């Protein structure tokens, strides 16, 4: 311990001594406790210098909080430096925070990751940038943490927001656009909800998104319930406004089209594109084309060999 820590008397948790009267304690404390000998409170805190838990007075708590503040600033600067090494120099702030959040989430540093996820989403909102990819990763973290109901809640709200953008309030195309692993039907099954229970919960969650039109709310909730218990298979062609990150010319609105989304990142795909403009993932149509070409080439090779 340094001089400042010595002056405040910090005992290691396993030493189990009161920092006020220095008397041995009956058991190792885990939280704020009152000493039976001197009747004063002491606290248990993690020391940033070595990540060990110590027993301290209120003044010791103040000192440790100050040390953690400085330590967190250093760690934050280090995370930013590491992220900038992996991204282009002109990367916007929301991309930097999003990358840091994903890296920390993989390490299991969920609290740090949540902070950066929220900063990424706020920055994206300020710059009028779609937040779908950020929200998808937030949902995945909730699942990793075992907070499946919160994951289901966020998924339903996100689908509800997307459904509001559709002219005819048909969410089947949006639901199919969910990346693998975020299907609400599997979450509902894992949580053991029946139709009535899930419908009540979905209604409560979606009310935060749709407050004005009760019919729209009921229609979207019914679609969510049907998807959760009877996943629709055929792809409908629906009249739809484009996604928030797609062209918004007035001639584009209300055009009948098949809604397509990237299976990798969930981005909107144009009808003519064979690759996702966001992540470069090959579309199903392009995969089919490549398969047909491959089969044709194999057929020609067989004919030459046989002939």
Q: How far apart are CA 153 and CA 118, in angstroms?
A: 17
13, 127: one domain: no
Question: What is the 8-class DSSP label of residue 243?
Answer: P
- Residue that finishes a domain, picked among 69, 86, 102: 69
13, 131: one domain: no
* Confidence (pLDDT) at 259: 44
Q: How far apart are CA 177 and CA 258, in angstroms?
A: 12
113, 193: one domain: yes
114, 230: one domain: yes
* Confidence (pLDDT) at 157: 86
Identify the H or E element spanning 166: none
17, 133: one domain: no
- Reading the block at residue 262, the tokens are 């990237």
Q: How far apart are CA 202 and CA 188, in angstroms?
A: 11
Dihedral angle over CA of 26, 28, 33, 36, nearest 10: 10
Q: How far apart are CA 257 and CA 196, in angstroms?
A: 33
> What is the number of domains present in the chain?
2
Question: What is the 8-class DSSP label of residue 183?
Answer: -
102, 136: one domain: yes
* Domain assignment present for 231: yes
Threshold 0.85, pTM exceeds:
no
- Residue that finishes a domain, picked among 69, 96, 120: 69
62, 95: one domain: no
The whole domain housing 39 covers: 3-69
51, 115: one domain: no
Question: What is the 8-class DSSP label of residue 282?
Answer: B
Dihedral angle over CA of 166, 171, 174, 176, nearest 10: -160
Q: How far apart are CA 119 and CA 94, in angstroms?
A: 7
* Domain assignment present for 264: no
141, 251: one domain: yes
Rounded to whole angstroms, what are the CA distances from 245 to 64, 129, 177, 290, 291?
Answer: 46, 7, 14, 28, 30
Q: How far apart are CA 37 and CA 65, in angstroms?
A: 27
* Domain assignment present for 274: no
60, 145: one domain: no
Q: How far apart are CA 272 and CA 109, in angstroms?
A: 41
* Domain assignment present for 56: yes
- Residue that finishes a domain, picked among 22, 48, 69: 69
* Confidence (pLDDT) at 300: 55
* Domain assignment present for 280: no
* Confidence (pLDDT) at 136: 86
37, 109: one domain: no
234, 91: one domain: yes
> Per-10-residue mean pLDDT for the chain, 307 residues long?
58 92 92 93 92 92 92 91 88 92 91 93 88 87 90 86 60 55 76 91 86 72 81 41 36 38 57 62 55 50 52
* Confidence (pLDDT) at 28: 93
* Domain assignment present for 180: yes
* Confidence (pLDDT) at 39: 93
Residues ≥6 apart with Cβ < 8 Å to 175: 159, 184, 223, 224, 227, 232
* Domain assignment present for 306: no
Q: How far apart are CA 130 and CA 54, in angstroms?
A: 45
* Domain assignment present for 154: yes
């Amino acid at each position: 311990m340094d001089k400042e820590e010595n002056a405040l008397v910090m005992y290691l948790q396993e030493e189990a001594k009161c920092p006020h009267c220095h008397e041995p304690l009956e058991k190792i404390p885990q939280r704020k406790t009152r000493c039976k000998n001197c009747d004063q409170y002491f606290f248990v805190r993690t020391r940033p210098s070595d990540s060990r838990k110590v027993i301290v007075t209120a003044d010791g708590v103040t000192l440790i909080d100050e040390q953690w503040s400085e330590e967190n600033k250093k760690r934050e600067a280090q995370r930013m430096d590491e992220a900038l090494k992996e991204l282009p120099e002109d990367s916007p702030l929301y991309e930097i925070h999003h990358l840091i959040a994903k890296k920390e989430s993989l390490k299991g540093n969920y609290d740090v990751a949540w902070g950066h996820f929220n900063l990424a989403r706020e920055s994206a909102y300020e710059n009028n940038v779609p937040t779908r990819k950020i929200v998808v990763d937030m949902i995945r973290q909730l699942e990793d943490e075992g907070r499946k109901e919160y994951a289901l809640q966020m998924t339903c709200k996100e689908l509800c927001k997307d459904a509001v953008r559709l002219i005819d309030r048909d969410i089947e195309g949006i639901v199919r656009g969910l990346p693998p692993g975020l299907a609400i039907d599997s979450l509902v099954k894992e949580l053991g909800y029946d139709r009535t229970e899930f419908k009540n919960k979905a209604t409560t969650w979606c009310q935060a998104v749709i407050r004005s039109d009760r019919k729209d709310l009921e229609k979207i909730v019914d679609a969510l319930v049907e998807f959760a218990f009877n996943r629709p298979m055929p792809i409908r062609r629906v009249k739809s406004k484009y996604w928030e990150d797609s062209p918004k010319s007035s001639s584009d609105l209300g055009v009948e089209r098949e809604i397509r989304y990237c299976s990798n990142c969930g981005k909107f795909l144009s009808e003519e594109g064979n690759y996702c403009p966001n992540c470069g993932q090959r579309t199903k149509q392009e995969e089919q084309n490549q398969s047909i070409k491959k089969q044709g080439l194999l057929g020609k090779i067989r004919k030459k060999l046989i002939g």
